[in-house]
Amino acid sequence: MPPMTQDSRVAAALRDDILRGQYRCGERLPSERDLAQRFGVHRSTVREAFKRLAQLGVARIAPGGARVAPIDEASLDVVEHLLALDDPPDPDIVDQAIEAISGFRAMAARLGTERATPEQRAYLLDLLVSMRQTELGHAERAELVFALGEAFVEASGNMVLRLMAKGLRMRPEQTRAGYEVFDDPTTRAEAEAQLAALSRAIEAADGALASESTFGLSRLFRLNLRERAQEPHRS
Amino acid sequence: MPPMTQDSRVAAALRDDILRGQYRCGERLPSERDLAQRFGVHRSTVREAFKRLAQLGVARIAPGGARVAPIDEASLDVVEHLLALDDPPDPDIVDQAIEAISGFRAMAARLGTERATPEQRAYLLDLLVSMRQTELGHAERAELVFALGEAFVEASGNMVLRLMAKGLRMRPEQTRAGYEVFDDPTTRAEAEAQLAALSRAIEAADGALASESTFGLSRLFRLNLRERAQEPHRS
DNA sequence: CGTGCCATCATGGCCGGACCAATTCTCCCG
DNA sequence: CGGGAGAATTGGTCCGGCCATGATGGCACG
């Protein structure tokens, strides 16, 4: 869908190389002229790719040579690419992302619950009712969980939150396994309890309770997902 | 400190124009050739600037014309520039940013508290003790508050959290007024209570309590800051 | 008068080459 | 072995040009 231009191709290749750790932090990348020859493009095309890498925060480009930037100078946007690097991605990265998303959802739930209009509140409760239906495939449930997060962000009316959410979206197939918590009777009961608490929180505009129950729910997903990731693949 | 290259100059000018709303969303930006003439640079320089804008997510560049992208396609990194646009910046943006930061700090406090090593826990408690000192200027207090947030993020050991934190840093002078809560006896008592709760949370590795008390503390700052912003300037 | 189609133009994508200043590298000298 | 001068490399910017693709306007037709 995105027009595959040459400069984006080059940028993607270099970005993935960097994120994969092919160049140590601080190490000099090949020169623009070298890369131009290697990729069979003009130097100005490589320069455009470099500008994107610099904006992404993975490279620092300066006279004398472009160098790999320390990871903590990167933009939040790199997370998306880190998760897309391999298939399956590094389970460690996935777990950290899920954990961050759990925390973020708790935060969105709090702010959203405190600010929601009556209509938004009704919609949120609607989503929760849907989620408690017995017969739901993992895909449908994943969609509801996603929609719930988006609804909280929307209800918060906070643009910064929206931008954060954008940087934290994961591909559905990477989270789907988490929803198996609804298959096991024990974990299902706990999930149901958290959903009930979340409903009460929304009705009462209780941000703290919304935050807690959302985090508890996300933790169930996360722990389940981590167990699944540690099992040997059966495909 | 960053070398002021021509392309970064052009990119900054266009970015600020866009963020200031000079171009409506979806509207076509001037052509590369026009801008090159307007800024007195070569077209390839403008192209490099465009690539950065595209990576920032504020412009979508395609054959036929570059267009302004909808705000929610932007990177979290735009927040920094939104806050730097005017002096003083739009109080609405500032308030949303502070709110998001409050939520983020609560989330970091939770994850950090649950994961901290004994050494990190000791350091966190140390910071809290420092913050409860009576004689502290707003600047020193601001530094401590900042350090506390960074310490929680560090303790969480979560890289995604680190990246989020980077996108949420505010300039000290924009938050300093919030620390006046320690001047008023009433709010000071409340702040002290939250700090005490946070200490207990860290000692007990109680993530939920850490989250609550951190959010409560941040809210004090935020409400105070908002009041100050609404007062007429006395400078 | 409205409408759909086609030629034309403008725009971005990319290329080849060039010059400069600053950095980095190399090698020789002390 | 250390240091400094000169050479090579590198990024920053510019020039001018070609191409394919969207945008645009005018013209013929209904």
Q: Work out the mean pLDDT of chain A and round it to a whole number.
A: 92
Q: Tens digits of per-residue pLDDT, B185-200?
A: 888 899 999 999 999 9
| Mean pLDDT, rounded, for B77-96 | 91
Distance from CA of B201 to the nearest CA of A (A): 15
Could you tell me the distance in Å between the CA of residue B82 and the C1' of nucleotide D21?
A: 34
Q: Tens digits of per-residue pLDDT, A131-182?
A: 988 777 888 888 999 999 999 999 999 999 999 999 999 888 888 777 887 7
Q: Which residue type sits at A166?
A: K
Q: Which single residue is written with the structure tokens 């395609």? A: B62
Which nucleotide does the CA of B8 lie closest to, via C1'? D12
Could you tell me the distance in Å between the CA of residue A34 and the C1' of nucleotide C29?
A: 34
pLDDT at B203 over 80: yes
* Contact: A7, B51; criterion CB under 8 Å: yes
Q: What CA–CA distance (Å, rounded) separates A59 from A32?
A: 13
pLDDT at A81 over 60: yes
pLDDT category at B234 given cuts 50, 70, 90 is: very low
pLDDT category at A2 given cuts 50, 70, 90 is: low
Give the CA dihedral A95, A98, A99, A100, nearest 10 degrees.
120
Q: What is the pLDDT of residue A43?
A: 98
B150 touches chain A (CB under 8 A): no
Q: Which of residues 41-70 of A touch strand C (CB under 7 A)?
A: 41-45, 48, 62-65
| Mean pLDDT, rounded, for B45-51 | 98
Q: What CA–CA distance (Å, rounded) separates A93 from B106?
A: 22
B79 touches chain A (CB under 8 A): yes
Q: Which residues touch strand D (CB under 7 A)?
A: A 29-34, 43-44, 47, 50, 61-66; B 3, 5-7, 28, 40-45, 48, 63-65
Q: In B, which residues are within 8 Å of A77 by CB distance?
A: 75-77
Phi, psi of A190 (to 5 degrees): -65, -40
Q: Tens digits of per-residue pLDDT, B205-214?
A: 999 999 999 9
A160 touches chain B (CB under 8 A): yes
pLDDT at B226 over 80: yes
Could you tell me the distance in Å between the CA of residue B215 and the C1' of nucleotide C18?
A: 59
B19 touches chain A (CB under 8 A): no
Query: Hey, is B20 helix, strand or coil?
Result: coil
* Contact: B75, A111; criterion CB under 8 Å: no
Q: Tens digits of per-residue pLDDT, B123-157?
A: 999 999 999 887 778 888 889 999 999 999 999 99
| Mean pLDDT, rounded, for B207-234 | 85
Q: What is the pLDDT of residue B2?
A: 64
Considering only CA atoms, which residue is closest to the C1' of nucleotide C11?
Answer: B64
* Contact: B96, A164; criterion CB under 8 Å: no
* Contact: B167, A78; criterion CB under 8 Å: no
Q: In A, which residues are within 8 Å of B164 by CB distance?
A: 76, 100, 104, 164, 167
Q: What CA–CA distance (Å, rounded) separates B212 from B216?
A: 6
A47 touches chain B (CB under 8 A): yes
pLDDT at B160 over 80: yes
pLDDT at A235 over 50: no
Q: In B, which residues are within 8 Å of A78 by CB distance?
A: 163
Q: What is the pLDDT of residue B78?
A: 97
- A168 or B182, greater pLDDT: A168
Q: In B, which residues are within 8 Å of A55 by CB distance?
A: 51-52, 55-56
Beta pairing partners, B60: B67
Q: What is the pLDDT of residue B197?
A: 97
A210 touches chain B (CB under 8 A): no
* Contact: A3, B62; criterion CB under 8 Å: yes
Helix (H) or strand (E) holding A39: helix A32-39
| Mean pLDDT, rounded, for A85-109 | 92
- A87 or B79, greater pLDDT: B79
A117 touches chain B (CB under 8 A): no
pLDDT at B178 over 70: yes
HSE at residue A67, side-chain half, CA atoms within 13 A, is: 11
Using alpha carbons, select from A93, A74, A78 the residue that is nearest to residue A174. Answer: A93
* Contact: B211, A44; criterion CB under 8 Å: no
Report the Cα–Cα distance between both ends of chain A, in Å, rounded: 29
Closest residue in A to B208 (Cα) is A212
Closest residue in A to B74 (Cα) is A163
Contact criterion met (CB below 8 Å) for A105 and A218: yes
Extract the runs of DSSP E, i.e. beta strands, from A100-197. none
